Amino acid sequence: MRGRPQLYTSYAADQALLNTGTKRLSFALFGVVLLCLPLGFIPGFRWAADADWMLVLAEVAILFIAALGLNLLTGLAGQVSLGHAFFMGVGAYVAAILGSPEGPLWGLGLPIWVWLPAAGLVAAAIGVLIAPTSFRVRGLYLAIVTLGLVFIGEHLFRNLDFITGGSQSGRTFPPLEFKFWKEETPFIDFATDGDWFGVELTGQAKTYYLMLGLALIAGLVAKNIQRTRAGRAFQSIRDRDIAAEITGVDEFRYKTIAFALSSFFAGVAGALFASFVGRTIPEAFGLPLSVEVIAIVLIGGAGVVSGMGMGAAFVIVMPLIVRTITEWLTQVAKTGEGVFQKIADVLVSTGTFDPGLVSASAGSGPGLNVFQLNQVLYGLLIVGFIIFEPLGLYGIWLRVRNYWKGWPFTY
């Protein structure tokens, strides 16, 4: 109704994906920006059209899909899991078996429309087998059980070298291209430069568009799952599982569904991640990858789909920002003058006998290297958000939004 934008006259209007004009306008503008980024004509965002940034944004989309799966399990259903990397590894190697060309390692050479959903389905089937443990153990014990899956997976992936290629060399994964079956020339090749609908695009831009489209589909599916009967059952189990069971929620059934859906998203993300990287070793699907996905969920805001996007962008872009700042501080420490040079000299170690918080030297030296610094920041951010802002970046956005909605009043 005109003049009363927050008045809903039906449950369907209240539960709509974009239930206000502001949300619809924001979504449309954000979508236009994302679509136009590779073209490089948006003022202030031309830098994003570079090949390196296209790959970074594509990786953000992949980990967004992975985080959606963990968010369904942990953010909605309240089941703690540290084993997301295991299911991503399962999806990756299912994709390798089905999609890679025949050779010394297993490969059937099937197209992407076969191996991508199959990667999710096989991971989901394994998730269903793991789900009964969530009915027997909870909380910390469930976290330890799922953590064990990561170590079991690493052992299996290292020793099944006829599939994975082993720890030393790894294996190549199916390319990102669309074929109808096994023809030589793909219908669409997402990894090489070429013309798309009259626009010349790089292979990185094509990869970005593919990942963006899949991330949009995954986000819509995850958002709609939240609005279904199963989604409401997940949230009731998360909030008070005993009360949910008393009111008629089949706890075993819905926990199994949550594990299956979470594993499906993880399997798809793992297949995309492996194909995106091109060649990787079994250790890539270890505990650090699980921690990275957990960081996305906690930093972005557990239980919120849009929070997964903010968390994925933050966690993937943050190492680049840390590396850029470290390089700048190193340059200032070596050639700068004044206050900035003194600050940089304290923070950055430029040699073996130069103390500092961060080591910029190629070899071993005092201070943390960039990778170690990022790991420390992950831990600090997770602890900080859990203590001070449990809703993550989405919670910060809510504070800002509510402030401006109530401005100039502060109450």
pLDDT in tens, 344-375: 777 777 666 666 677 766 555 566 777 777 77
Span 135-170, pLDDT tens digits: 788 778 888 888 999 999 999 999 888 888 888 888
Query: Taking a C-beta distance cutoff of 8 angstroms, is the pair 51, 90 a contact?
Result: no
Listing DSSP states for 114-182 in one string gives HHHHHHHHHHHHHHHHHTHHHHH--THHHHHHHHHHHHHHHHHHHH-HHHH-HHHH-EE---SEE-SSS
Residues composing the chain: 411
Residue 270 has a pLDDT of 95
Q: Write down the pLDDT at residue 378.
A: 78
The H-or-E segment that residue 51 falls in is: helix 51-70
Q: How far apart are CA 38 and CA 48, in angstroms?
A: 7
Other beta carbons within 10 Å of 14: 10
Residue 206 CA to chain centroid, in angstroms? 19
Residue type at 324 in one-letter notation: T
Which segment of 23-37, 63-77, 339-353, 381-395 scores lowest on mean pLDDT? Answer: 339-353
Burial level of 291, CB count in 10 A (0-12/13-18/19+)?
Answer: middle
What are the domain boundaries of the chain?
49-285, 304-411
User: What backbone phi and psi angles, to 5 degrees, belong to 195?
Assistant: -95, 130
| Separation between Cα atoms, residue 137 and residue 79, nearest integer Å | 10
CA-nearest of 283, 23, 294 to 169 is: 283
Task: Compare 263 and 387 and report the one with higher pLDDT.
Answer: 263
Task: Count the helices and strands in the chain (H runs, E runs).
Answer: 18, 8
Residue 403 confidence (pLDDT) above 50 = yes
- The number of angstroms, rounded, from the C-alpha of 143 to the middle of its chain's C-alpha atoms is 20
Backbone φ, ψ for residue 364 (5° rounding): -75, 145
Confidence label for 327 from pLDDT (cuts 50, 70 and 90): confident
Cis, bond preceding 117 (omega within 30 deg of 0) = no
The token duo for 178 is: 């669309």
Structure tokens at 112: 């992407």
Element (H, E) at 256: helix 251-277
User: Residue 392: CA atoms inside 13 Å, Cβ hemisphere, count?
Assistant: 26
Mean pLDDT estimate for the chain: 85
Query: What's the rounded Cα separation, in Å, for the pair 247 and 179?
Result: 49
Provide the residue type at 140 as one letter. L
Q: Kindly give, in sequence order, each residue whose CB lies less than 8 Å from that of residue 181, ignoring residues fewer than 6 positions away.
A: 110, 111
Pairwise CA distance, residues 7 & 19, whole Å: 10
